[in-house]
Chains A and B, each alone.
Chain A
Amino acid sequence: MSDRILVDAKNTFCPGPLMELISNMKMADVGDELELLSTDEGSAADVPEWINKVGHEIIESFKEDEVLHIIVKKIK
């Protein structure tokens, strides 16, 4: 069973959420899921762009109480 790692990057601005996701991604194992929390509007577009470019998988993305949640699976 893989872990889900919570990356709380609320209240930080671009490129804070992306960099926090990536530093956690580096330490995660292949197959792990990471859940990024962000309140930065720019990251809503930028983070999925990075995930697709690098080749990981977006499991789910939704907004709840003004907080964006992006759940991503580490593929490689």
Chain B
Amino acid sequence: MDVTGFEYRKLSEEVSPRSPVLKNCVLAFLIGGLICAIGQVATGLSMEAGIEVENARLIGASVLIAASAILTAFDVYDSIAKHAGAGTIVPITGFANAIVAPAIEFKTEGLVLGLASKMFTIAGPVLVYGITASVVYGIVLNLLALFK
């Protein structure tokens, strides 16, 4: 072909439509914010009911996780996520969705090799690097404390 690979990739970039970044950012901000507000309301109501702040925060997170899992199971979460993008991925609801979705999908391959093993195909890296980062953070914090 009389086009080089570089020229071709440039041509393909010109022709390919770009994602509407501004619209996506605004929607992610609004829907992500709404999800966090729901968590805050659940935490606040728990505290009103006389639950200690630490436990009230756990209840707030649990409400979001449960809601996300149920909406995922009823084929609703992905329809919201289509518009919300990072707004539904970043909050804890996104993590719940990333675990429940493969669990539903791969149960046809059995409870052990399907559901249980594939459950972490998307969320696994978050756990691995999240836990690793927290360990590194802990070590650095302790080393700094030595020089105080």
Partners in one complex: no
